[in-house]
Amino acid sequence: MKISNGWTRVVAALVGVALAGTVVSPALAGTSASGSGGAGTFASGSGGAGRPRAAACTGEGVDPAAMVAAIRGLPSAEATAAQVRVTTGAGCWTGRSGARDLRTDAPVPADARFRIGSVTKAFTATVVLQLVAEGRVGLDVPVQRYLPRLLPADYPAVTVRQLLDHTNGLPSPTLPDTVEWQLAHRFDRWTPEQIVRAGLRNERTFEPGDKQHYTNMGYIVAGMLIERITGHSYAHEMRERIFEPLGLRDTYVPGSDPTIRGPHALGYQTVSRNGRTALVDVTNWSQTMTPAAGDMISTLADLDTFLRELFAGRLLPAAQLDEMFTLPDVSDVDGGRALYSIGLTAFPLPTGEVLWGKSGARWGYSTAIAASRDGTLRAAYSVNSTDAKGETQPAITERIIGAALGMR
């Protein structure tokens, strides 16, 4: 997904460019439903209760009309389900729409789990910064010092900071990008070392520190760094440092398990075969190709708790937290402005305000979190997009973001 292009479209929507309505394709016509019942039913509910978990969303104090309209009409050609949670200074609201399973039209379960994709990077960056605060890792120390045999001996120095803010220039593996190849290989298992070796067969994108280019590679290496420094698995450190202290009972690292444990809505991908369009269930999919970069599973309530506690400084000392709100002084590979900090993305608004968050996509699932710097506005969504890995975001995500900003 090209996040910068998608965000340009969102900004256009916010300044008044009309968004096209959803068109239901023939392939989905039999499963769409009205807003009064069935799979199209809109439902609101409560999140997790108790501190530090997210407080229950009662809906009091906010007007959700625009958001209800934004997620109504599912399943559709572009998405089969959606979940949204928005918190403002006045209150909190959460809702869901669409189908858990197109075969039965069952509604999306409350507190449904989903793949969060690259939102995982915010968790990984937080743990690395905790290690920095503990004096066990230096942001400006070459990663070769910690992982001495990972990169070739003559490879230029790549600092830990460059891993995390996408200025490392590390090459990614070259794999077929067709949907059919991906489907055929979705249960393949990779190790981080295999991914790095496959990437190093290609030329580096640029000299480390010269530019910014968003990839998974820096975070895959960062996951290896966490394991080397702590002597524990990546999953263990996430549980001990973030999940358990924050009471994130529905967030976990799946490892080699291709399933989503617990209540969830199925993910689907549009595939063209023999001149016809079909939807393929892609819920079960090995995430070993994106370790520490895009593999986690979570819920809206857990993501909101993480965002709230992170921005409030309860996971990191002030010096390390400030790193997450500092952009590198470089341009991206296309000559534009760098928008990725350590673990987060800057989302500038036409008003001059900047929101900070992270988006992510895995096959069948599109996710994003965002908040104002003071945390008084927080939003999280999961959309079961039928082309989650496409070049542009589906229009429903633009409507969700626009509606969330309008709820302040």
For the stretch 13-55, pLDDT in tens is 443 322 222 222 222 222 222 232 333 334 444 333 334 555 6
Residue 29: per-residue pLDDT: 27
Tokens of 333: 């590979």
Q: Which residues contact 190 (CB under 8 A, 6 or more apart)?
A: 288, 289, 291
Residue 84: per-residue pLDDT: 97
Q: Name the pTM for this structure.
A: 0.89
Residue 55: per-residue pLDDT: 61
Residue 302: per-residue pLDDT: 98
Beta bridge partners of 97: 82
Q: Which residues contact 125 (CB under 8 A, 6 or more apart)?
A: 164, 219, 222, 324, 342, 343, 344
DSSP string, 310-337: HHTTSSS-HHHHHHTT---SSBBTTSSB
CA distance 387 to 390: 5
Q: Strand, helix or coil at 307?
A: helix
Q: Which residues contact 64 (CB under 8 A, 6 or more apart)?
A: 44, 86, 93, 95, 407
CA distance 289 to 287: 5
Tokens of 11: 């900004």
What does the DSSP 8-state code read for residue 119? G
Residue 95: per-residue pLDDT: 95
Backbone angles phi, psi at 127, to 5 degrees: -70, -40
- Which ranges of 152-294 would DSSP assign to H, the alpha helix? 160-164, 179-184, 192-199, 217-230, 234-238, 244-246
CA distance 283 to 265: 8
Q: Which residues contact 343 (CB under 8 A, 6 or more apart)?
A: 121, 122, 124, 125, 126, 129, 164, 324, 358
Residue 61: per-residue pLDDT: 87
Indicate the burial class of 261 (C-beta count within 10 angstroms; 0-12, 13-18, 19 or more): exposed
Q: Could you tell me the end-to-end alpha-carbon distance of the chain, in angstroms, rounded to an integer?
A: 28
Residue 195: per-residue pLDDT: 98
Can you give the C-alpha Rg of the chain in angstroms? 20
- Which ranges of 250-390 would DSSP assign to H, the alpha helix? 300-311, 318-323
Residue 12: per-residue pLDDT: 36
As annotated, the active-site residues are 118
Spans of the chain, pLDDT less than 70: 1-55
Tokens of 26: 């023939």
